[in-house]
Structure 1
Amino acid sequence: MSFPPTLLIIPGLRDHVPDHWQTLLAKKLSSNRLVCSVPPLGRVDLSCAKRVAAIQQSLKAIHGPVIVVAHSGGVISLAHWAQRHGRANVVGAVLAAPVDLDTPLPEGYPTFADLQHSGWFPVPRAQLPFPSLVAVSSNDPLAEQSRVEQFARDWGSDCVHVGAVGHLSPAFGFGEWPQAEDLIARFDRSI
């Protein structure tokens, strides 16, 4: 008997946010499939190594195929994980609104020095060892569209232009993001 892939949610640098589309997606889909989230580290702990270790621990605990749903800094965490650990049981990844850490982030976000001290650089640009797609916003204040498109090319990901959706976060009206399910379905027809 074959089971549908488990979804693994990887949040951004701000960890889990109650009204974020990833949190709402996990609640919605967990009634009919296994949905796991990388355990929160908290905004204070920016350690990239700890986030990569949390991804590895989460994946080792899941038996069977996994579809990753990563957002923002979670996308960069996954790229670091893939560089160190390879494919594991990941059969696909939805990479939503990756943050451009090479460009100074707005006030309220970690500084370049904080990120450098926490091991985020260099940002991995090698091809990912699993199929992936990058959801690209045309007006994301945390990454210019052209930079995100370049990330996608470097990672070997398909680009999906999702319009002017900001950073796909509650601050930009997301809440629910129904398109996430459509993107996940590209890797899993059981949804």
Structure 2
Amino acid sequence: MKKENAVLILPGWQNSGADHWQTRWEQRHGYTRVAQHDWQRPLRGDWTVQLQEAVLAAPAPVVLVAHSLGCILTAWWADHAPRSTVAKVQAALLVAPGDVEQDDLRQQLPGWAPIARQRLPFRATLVGSQNDPYCRAERARQLAADWGAAWVDAGAVGHINSASGLGDWPAGHALLEELLKDFPDGNHKT
């Protein structure tokens, strides 16, 4: 019997609402949202512990699907968590990272800068937008390069959230499917 991948949804600051593609994927595909204690005043240490516990509790292999601050969390966690836990993660889909080093976001989200910039120890695809108010496309492209992630330009779709009007965002799910298809067991939950 083949193992299924555990897909963990990592929302950003203020969580992902009912119309967000992450919530739709969670409901449609049975993925698991990593719950945080405080979505309004996120603390990097607390969020890191929650991700660590979720990865430990999940069956391997694990795939992360992060949006906005969830992308920044993924990079930080991968650089600071025990290698044995990080090794459970096989891939990550990173969507619209929030640039917490920008002055306005740095003030709104104290304690999240600097961004961990090391190469991620798992396969990753980073999707950015040409007109994301929280991260310029050039900056998102640089984060993709730093993290060793494949870069995908989604066009001018804002912050790639519910306000972008993407619905179930089938193009994004196709990118996730692409990340999953080359796994040794070839199986995953859809």
Task: Trace 1:18-33 onto structure 2 (pairs within 5 A).
Answer: 18-30=18-30
What is the Cα deviation at residue 114 of structure 1?
A: 4.5
Q: TM-score, length-normalised on structure 2? A: 0.89
Shift of 1:147: 0.3
Q: Report the counterpart of residue 142 of structure 1 in structure 2.
A: 134
* Structure 2 match to 1:121: 113
Asked whether the equivalents of residues 11 and 73 of structure 1 are also in contact (C-alpha less than 8 Å), the reply is yes
Corresponding residue number in structure 1 for 2:40: 44
Select which of 122, 128, 131 maps to 2:123. 131
Q: Give the match for residue 92 of structure 2.
A: 93
CA contact (8 A) 1:15 1:41 kept: no
Deviation at 1:153, TM superposition (A): 0.4
Structure 2: distance between partners of 1:80 and 1:46: 14
**SS state of the match for residue 146, structure 1?**
helix
Deviations along 1:104-159, one digit per CA (max 9) or x if unpaired, are 34xxxxx523423xx21211011111110100111111111000000000001010
The structure with the greater share of residues assigned to helix is: 2
User: Aligned partner of 1:50: which letter?
Assistant: D
Shift of 1:102: 1.4
Q: Distance in 2 between matches of 1:14 and 1:132?
A: 24
In the alignment, the residues of structure 1 paired with residue 108 and residue 138 of structure 2 have an alpha-carbon distance, to the nearest angstrom, of 25
State whether residues 93 and 130 of structure 1, in contact with CA within 8 Å, keep that contact through their aligned partners in structure 2. yes
- Measured in 2, the distance between the counterparts of 1:169 and 1:114 equals 19
In structure 2, how many angstroms separate the alpha carbons of the residues matched to 1:115 and 1:13?
9
Query: For the aligned residues, what is the CA RMSD?
Result: 1.5
One-letter amino acid matched to 1:115: L
Contact preservation (8 Å) 2:5, 2:59: no
SS in 2 for 1:69: strand
- Structure 1's unaligned 5+ residue stretches are 106-110
